[in-house]
Amino acid sequence: MQLSEYGFSKHYPRLVIVPRGVVAYKKKKGVVKSMSINGKAYIAGVYEHPTRKAVDKSLAQLHAESALGALADAGLTKDDVDGYFCAGDAPGLGPLSLVDYMGLNLKHMDATETGGSSYVLHVGHAAEAIAMGKCSVALITLAGRPRAEGMATGTAPRNYGSSAPDVAFEFPFGPTVVNMYAMCAQRHMYEYGTTSEQLAWIKVAASHHAQYNEHAMLRNVVTVDEVVNSPMISDPLHRLDCCVISDGGGAIIVTSPEVAKSLKRPLVKVLGAGEAPKHQMGGKIDLTYSGARWSGPLAFEEARVKPSDMKYASIYDSFTITVLMQLEDLGFCEKGEGGKFVSDGNLISGTGKLPFNTDGGGLCNNHPANRGGLTKVIEAVRQLRGEAHPKVQVPNCDLALAHGTGGSLGTRHGSATVIMERE
Amino acid sequence: MTEQKRVFPTPIADPDTEQFWSAAKDNKLMIGSCNSCGEKHYYPRGMCPHCGSSDVELVQSLGKGVIYSWSVLRRAEPPFAIAYVTLDEGPTMMTNIIDCDLDNLKIGQKVELKFSPTEEENGAPVPTFKPV
Ligand SMILES: [Zn+2]
């Protein structure tokens, strides 16, 4: 099998890519057939918990309420669920405590943890499990209450456990979420001439969308001037370059085609999924790109579509720079051109070429549990169903992408991309 | 804004990194070096992340390099400059820039090693850098 058959090796010449989940084998007559998840699974239910501050609810309760919401959206009950997916925000031992709490009986479990991107990655894993016949109704949940718990989300160093091999070499220097992403922005500005004003356009676009979302934390439309004049948090990122901190949660139901077609909801088909980690490469650090450089081509290849086919994109938006780098890495524009691409409202629904995060995203709406991946899938599904707010609904939205980053762009992270189609 | 001294947490050594931190107590910055592929790496570890060989050793860095990227966390008390510094030997490492004007840091700026003490008595110091 030649990598060039997959059509992306020439665009990513430094990389060796083995398509994930693709088993190619020669049949008689030399026909190459691939196994893939394309068309093997559907997103049948989604639910975004309306709370943004959950002092009066437990973490398990938020997971369960989200699960029930997504099941109701699909028209299913908890007894239909035979696969469950969760990540590091789930309380207890992997999936077990929540499975116990919700009283689920399962054939398949997966607690893959890649931070905020986990739930985008779980959609791909759920589609794989369904394609293999391991389950037919997969539930994915997320919840958290960083506000209720008074967590200093962005500006306090996080320690992922002293046995992590990197901790001694990093923790003493005070890496936080914001200063690590700030170093990415700083380097991107240095190499490509990206400006704070260009980054600000991303927040401006998100705020244009958030004004129509009654649940959004920040509903005021902001200007480029307001973003660049907001207080500097960590050079070059200002307060308004950062996402909101919110409690809440959400859930997704992924099903087999048979189950999806038996329900009354619009059909949203999973076309392709890609995932990839990016790390420090033993000290050959390059902060100007993300793992989307790998996860994106894998997903597009499996979906047999290209970036310019997308009518809508949900892009992980912990910070403005996160969006800009991922747009480049996913191939929506050339590397280094992200600043120009996002400027002048190009991400605003109805105005721009690529409507993004029409719920207001993590920048304005919701970033539950400091993990924005699940809500990225939810808004993409709303768009594909035609159920986004009328003011931001993309006309005839039949192809959409959701992309997540989890961990830190500044050190190590997991990237996950899912491409979906309205049938 | 002049940089004020931070209190650095004391790093916890493990069997993989004990040698690194004991060298730090002698003001020596060590980096990983692979006898199989010849590449250097950071942070040092028991296998080469480039080729997979376990034939690795620590070698001393001269402690000279340039700022690859930086950011001043203005919300911290006191504000401080985190940075990645690319050593002349090749690897890029996370560190802090100290003894500097926090408003005048630049990518590409030359810096040199200066260990900073950490909070525990007899704890290993951490490798920080100051402008040349
Ligand atoms: Zn080697």
Span A236-264, pLDDT tens digits = 999 999 999 999 999 999 999 999 999 99
Q: Decide if pLDDT at A1 tops 80.
A: no
| Total-model pTM | 0.93
- Give the SS3 label for residue B47: coil
- Report d(CA A172, CA A395) in Å as an integer: 50
Q: What is the pLDDT of residue B2?
A: 82
Cβ-defined contact of B71 to A186 (cutoff 8 Å): yes
Cβ-defined contact of A179 to B41 (cutoff 8 Å): no
Q: Which residue in B has a C-alpha nearest to residue A411's C-alpha?
A: B94
> Is A401 within 8 Å of A418 (Cβ atoms)?
yes
Q: What is the pLDDT of residue A160?
A: 60
Cβ-defined contact of B94 to A173 (cutoff 8 Å): yes
At A10, is the pLDDT very low, low, confident or very high (cuts 50, 70, 90)?
A: very low
Topology of the domain covering B18-131: OB fold (Dihydrolipoamide Acetyltransferase, E2P) (2.40.50)
- Report d(CA B107, CA B69) in Å as an integer: 6
Domain ranges of chain B: 18-131
Mean pLDDT (whole number) for A8-35:
45
Q: Decide if pLDDT at A320 tops 70.
A: yes
Tell me, yes or no, if the two domains A42-148+248-269 and A177-244+271-422 fold the same way.
Answer: yes
Q: Which of B31, B39, B68 minimises the CB distance to A285? A: B68
What's the pLDDT tens digit per position in B8-55? 999 988 898 999 999 999 999 999 999 999 999 999 999 999 999 999
How many other CB atoms are found less than 10 A from the CB of residue A18?
A: 9
All residues at 6 or more sequence positions from A311 whose CB lies less than 8 Å from its CB, including other chains: A355, A383, A394, A396, A397, A398, A399, A400
Q: Which of A129, A133, A123, A134 is nearest to A44 (CA)?
A: A123
Cβ-defined contact of A174 to B90 (cutoff 8 Å): no
Distance of alpha carbon A70 from the chain centroid: 18
Distance B51 CA to ligand 1 centre (A): 4
- Report d(CA B8, CA A357) in Å as an integer: 39
Whether B90 and chain A come into contact, CB under 8 Å, resolves to: yes
Distance A399 CA to ligand 1 centre (A): 44
> Is B51 within 8 Å of B34 (Cβ atoms)?
yes
A23-26 and A268-278: which strand pairing?
unpaired
Whether A182 and chain B come into contact, CB under 8 Å, resolves to: yes
Whether B9 and chain A come into contact, CB under 8 Å, resolves to: yes
Strands (E), A77-208: 83-85, 108-110, 137-144
Q: What is the pLDDT of residue A20?
A: 45
Cβ-defined contact of B71 to A236 (cutoff 8 Å): yes
What's the pLDDT tens digit per position in B49-97? 999 999 999 999 999 999 999 999 999 999 999 999 999 999 999 999 9
Q: Decide if pLDDT at A18 tops 70.
A: no
Cβ-defined contact of A183 to B17 (cutoff 8 Å): no
CB half-sphere exposure, A297, CA atoms < 13 A: 22
CATH class of domain segment(s) A42-148+248-269: alpha beta
Q: What is the pLDDT of residue A34?
A: 61
Mean pLDDT (whole number) for A70-98:
97
Q: Which of A171, A186, A280 minimises the CB distance to B69? A: A186
Q: Decide if pLDDT at A132 tops 80.
A: yes
Q: What is the pLDDT of residue A16?
A: 40
> Is A356 within 8 Å of A347 (Cβ atoms)?
yes
Minimal CA separation from A152 to chain B, in Å:
11
Q: What is the pLDDT of residue A151?
A: 75
What's the pLDDT tens digit per position in A364-414? 999 999 999 999 999 999 999 999 999 999 999 999 999 999 999 999 999
How far CA A157 is from CA of A173, A178, B71, in Å, comes to 9, 10, 14
Q: What is the pLDDT of residue B3?
A: 82
Q: What is the DSSP string of A156-174?
A: S-----TTSTTHHHHGGG-
Domain ranges of chain A: 3-36, 42-148+248-269, 177-244+271-422
B93, two tokens: 């490492």
Cβ-Cβ contacts under 8 Å, B118 against chain A: 172
Q: Which of A171, A179, A184 minimises the CB distance to B9? A: A171
Distance A15 CA to ligand 1 centre (A): 19
Q: Which of A166, A183, A232 minimises the CB distance to B84? A: A183
Cβ-Cβ contacts under 8 Å, B71 against chain A: 179, 182-183, 186, 234-237
A128-137, A215-224, B10-19, B83-92: range with lowest mean pLDDT? B10-19
Topology of the domain covering A177-244+271-422: Peroxisomal Thiolase; Chain A, domain 1 (3.40.47)
Taking CA A347 as the corner, what is the angle to CA A344 and CA A218, rounded to the nearest 5 degrees? 100
How far CA A245 is from CA of A174, A233, A238, A371, B99, in Å, comes to 20, 15, 15, 10, 34
At A159, is the pLDDT very low, low, confident or very high (cuts 50, 70, 90)?
A: low
Share of chain A above pLDDT 70, in %: 90
Cβ-defined contact of A235 to B74 (cutoff 8 Å): yes
Note the ipTM here: 0.97
Cβ-defined contact of A184 to B95 (cutoff 8 Å): no
Q: What is the pLDDT of residue A21?
A: 42
Mean pLDDT (whole number) for A148-176:
82
- Report d(CA A112, CA A127) in Å as an integer: 14
At A267, is the pLDDT very low, low, confident or very high (cuts 50, 70, 90)?
A: very high
Cβ-defined contact of B96 to A169 (cutoff 8 Å): no
Q: Which of A193, A98, A410 is nearest to B68 (CA)?
A: A410
For chain A, the average pLDDT equals: 92
Whether A190 and chain B come into contact, CB under 8 Å, resolves to: yes
Selected residues 327-346 of chain A with any CB under 8 Å from a CB in chain B: none
Q: Is the peptide bond before A231 cis (omega within 30 degrees of 0)?
A: no
> Is A191 within 8 Å of A417 (Cβ atoms)?
no
